[in-house]
Structure 1
Amino acid sequence: MSRITTPFGFESTAAEVIAGVDLSGRRAIVTGGASGIGVETARALAVAGAEVTLAVRNTAAGERVAGQLIESTGNNHVFVAPIELADRASVRAFAANWTGPLHILVNNAGVMAEPLTRTPEGWEHQFATNHLGHFGLTLGLYDALAAAGDARVVSVSSSAHLRSDVHFDDVHFDVRPYDPWAAYGQSKTANVLFAVEAAKRWASAGIVVNALMPGGIRTALQRHVENNLTPAMQKLFDEATWKTVEQGAATSVLLAASPLTAGVTGKYFEDNNEAEAPVEGRNGGVAPYALDPESATRLWELSERLVAQV
C-alpha cells in the first residue's frame, strides 16, 4: 500500500488543514484541551462547527479556555468535563457520564519526562497517564463512538517513541533503573500500538484510529525537560526547529476531521503525512516496533487486564 500524503506539511496550521470542513452536528472530545496544542485542536474543531468538550484535570482553567474559545469562534457549544487520566475511577466516571454519539476523540493530554512517580496501583505515572488512561477512556466510550457510525480516534504520540519499545517484562520500572525519557518513549510507543490494534478490532464498527507526532512545540508539557537533558539532547533542543501551537495541532486536526484522511486507520502521521521508516541523519519516522501487530495485541491484552483490576 502506498504512503498516504496530503498537500500539507511542517508549517501548515490547524486552521489551514480544516478550512472548508463543516463539522456541524458532530461531537468531539479533546483531552488536555485547556493548554498547548489541545487548545488549538479544540479551536479548529469549534470553528468548523463541532460541539467540543474539553476533558481536563483543572476545570477552572478549562472553563477559562472554553469561554475564550466561545468568544473567538462564535460557537457556544464548547463544554468542560473533569478527568484525571491516571485515576481509573475518574476515567470511568467521565465515560459513564457521556451520553449520545461521539464522532471525534482526540487523546491529546500527556506528561513528559517527569521524575519517577507512581499511581496508587504502583503503575509508572507516564505510562498510566499517557497510555492506560487514554486506553480506558476510549474503551469506555466505545459504544458512543460506534453509535456515530464513522467515528475518528486520534492518539497523540511523539517522535520520542523512537527512544523505547514497550518493555513487557518491566513496563512499570519495577526492576530496571528509571529513566524519564525511556519511560516517556515507552508510553508514546504504546500510543501508536493502541492505534494499530484498535484499528483492527473496531473496523467493523466504522471507527478509525490513528496516531501522530505533532512536532516540537514549546508548551507546558516540557516543564520537566530542563532537568532531564543530556548534553547531546540539549544540543538537539537548542538546534531544533520549533512549531507554533497552531502548527503543532495541525496533524491532530487533519486526522480528526479532514476528508483527506477519511477511512484511513492504523497509521502514524507526522507533519500532516504518513510517516516513513526512520533514516539515519534525519529526524522523525516511525519505528517498526511501534507498528508491530503482535506487540499491539499483546499491549491491548495487558492494558485490558490492568484497567479492569479492582
Structure 2
Amino acid sequence: MITTGFGFDTTALDVVEGLDLSGRRAVVTGGASGIGVETVRALATAGAEVTIAARDLDAAQRVAASLSRSTGNSTISVARLDLASPASVKAFARTWDGPLHLLVNNAGVMATPLTRTPEGWELQFATNHLGHFALTLGLFNSLRAEGARVVNVSSSAHLMSDVVFDDIHYERRSYDRWQAYGQSKTANILFGVEAGVRWGGEGITMNALMPGSIATNLQRHLSSEELQERIRLSGAADVRRVKSVEQGAATTLVVATSPLLDGVSGRYFEDCVEAAPVVGGSHMRGVAPYAQDSGAAARLWEVSEETLWGRWAA
C-alpha cells in the first residue's frame, strides 16, 4: 500500500509545493471547471505547460487567461474536446504534436437521464470511459516518447456497479443512472489495470483515484435534495465530510506527480493514499475486488476497442 504523508485536508497546491515541472507537458480534460481548474492551477504553478481540453472553448479561454495571470505561467492553452464524439476525440489526438508527459482524464458526466450518443452508446459510459479510452490510445505515441503518466479520475461510485458486459448500454435492462455512472467509474479503474499489463514496457503508467465528495458542476443533473441524499449515503456528511475543490484536486496531483508512483500502474487512490479493499460498512470507501480483476480489465479493453474501432478508423 502506498502512503504519501498527505491526507483529506491536503490541497493540490500543497502537493506541488517545491516541485519543478518545467519542460513537462500536460493535458487536463474538463480543465475549465470544478477540480479540473484546480488541477490546471497546481500543474501550472509548478511550471508545467498545460492544455485545457474542454467542450466550451469560451469558458476554457477565460479560465486559461485567469490562471495564466494568477500563476505567472503563460504556457496554458486550450483545445476543443467532446469526449462523447469519436470525431472530436480523433481530431484532438491527430493535432497533438510532440511528447506528452501527463494526461489527466478528469472530465465526466454524472447521473444523467438515459441519453444515447448518435452511435447508440449510453452517455455516461461513452463520455467517462470510451471517450477517455479513445483519447489515451490516440495519444499513445506521444505518451511513450519519454514515458508518461495517465491519471483517471474515478469515484467511490464504482462500488455501485461492476461493468455489466452483457448489457453495457442498457439496451435490455432498466436504466439506473447511478448504476450507469458506477460502471463507467469502474471502467476507469480497470483501464489502468490492463494498461499496466499492455504498456508496462512502454514507460507509461496509469492509475485511478477518488477525488472526494465535492460540490461542483458535475452534480448539475441532481436536485439539492438528491445531492444531500447522495452525500448522506456516501457517508461524507458524518465520516469524510465534503471537500473543497482545492482539496478535491489533491489526490489527482499525488497520482500525477508523486515519485512514489514511479513505475506503478493499476492502483486506486483516495484521500491522497492508495485505497484498501472495500469492507462492509465502509461508507463508500475502498476499492471493489471487481475493479481490480485482471480478467475483467482485459475484457473491457477488448470490448472498448471493438466498440470504437469503426468510428476511430473512419
The residue correspondences of 1:277-296 to structure 2 (distance < 5 A) are 277-283=277-283, 284-296=285-297
Match of residue 304 from structure 2: 303
Question: Any idea what the Cα deviations from partners look like across 1:101-140, whole Å, max 9, x if unmatched?
Answer: 0000000000000101000110000000000000000000
8 Å Cα contact 2:155-2:185 kept in structure 1: yes
- The reply to whether residue 160 of structure 1 matches residue 161 of structure 2 is no
Distance in 2 (alpha carbons) for counterparts of 1:248 and 1:234: 15
Helix, strand or coil: the match of 1:309?
helix
Amino acid in the other structure paired with 2:172: V
8 Å Cα contact 1:278-1:286 kept in structure 2: yes
Structure 1: segments with no counterpart, 5+ residues: none
Structure 2: segments with no counterpart, 5+ residues: none
C-alpha distance 78-280 of structure 1, shift in aligned 2 (>3 A):
same
The residue correspondences of 1:130-141 to structure 2 (distance < 5 A) are 130-141=128-139
Distance in 1 (alpha carbons) for counterparts of 2:38 and 2:289: 30
- State how many pairs are aligned: 307
Distance in 1 (alpha carbons) for counterparts of 2:206 and 2:9: 24
Distance in 2 (alpha carbons) for counterparts of 1:301 and 1:222: 31
Alpha-carbon distance, 1:231 to partner: 9.2
Distance in 2 (alpha carbons) for counterparts of 1:94 and 1:276: 36
Match of residue 252 from structure 2: 252
Distance in 2 (alpha carbons) for counterparts of 1:83 and 1:263: 29
8 Å Cα contact 2:25-2:101 kept in structure 1: yes
8 Å Cα contact 2:213-2:231 kept in structure 1: no
Distance in 2 (alpha carbons) for counterparts of 1:213 and 1:96: 30
Match of residue 151 from structure 1: 148
Match of residue 16 from structure 1: 14
- The reply to whether residue 49 of structure 1 matches residue 43 of structure 2 is no
8 Å Cα contact 1:110-1:129 kept in structure 2: yes
Helix, strand or coil: the match of 1:30?
strand
The runs of 4+ residues in structure 1 deviating greater than 6 Å are: none
TM-score with structure 2 setting the length: 0.95
Q: What is the RMSD computed on CA atoms of the aligned residues? A: 1.5
8 Å Cα contact 2:206-2:265 kept in structure 1: yes
C-alpha distance 41-55 of structure 1, shift in aligned 2 (>3 A):
same
Alpha-carbon distance, 1:307 to partner: 1.1
8 Å Cα contact 1:163-1:181 kept in structure 2: yes
Question: Any idea what the Cα deviations from partners look like across 1:258-294, whole Å, max 9, x if unmatched?
Answer: 2232222110000111000112222310000001000
Match of residue 83 from structure 2: 85
TM-score with structure 1 setting the length: 0.96
Deviates more, 1:130-139 or 1:240-249: 240-249
Alpha-carbon distance, 1:80 to partner: 0.1
Distance in 1 (alpha carbons) for counterparts of 2:233 and 2:26: 35
Amino acid in the other structure paired with 1:6: T
The residue correspondences of 1:1-310 to structure 2 (distance < 5 A) are 3-148=1-146, 150-226=147-223, 229=226, 233=230, 235-236=232-233, 239=237, 241-283=241-283, 284-310=285-311
8 Å Cα contact 2:219-2:227 kept in structure 1: no
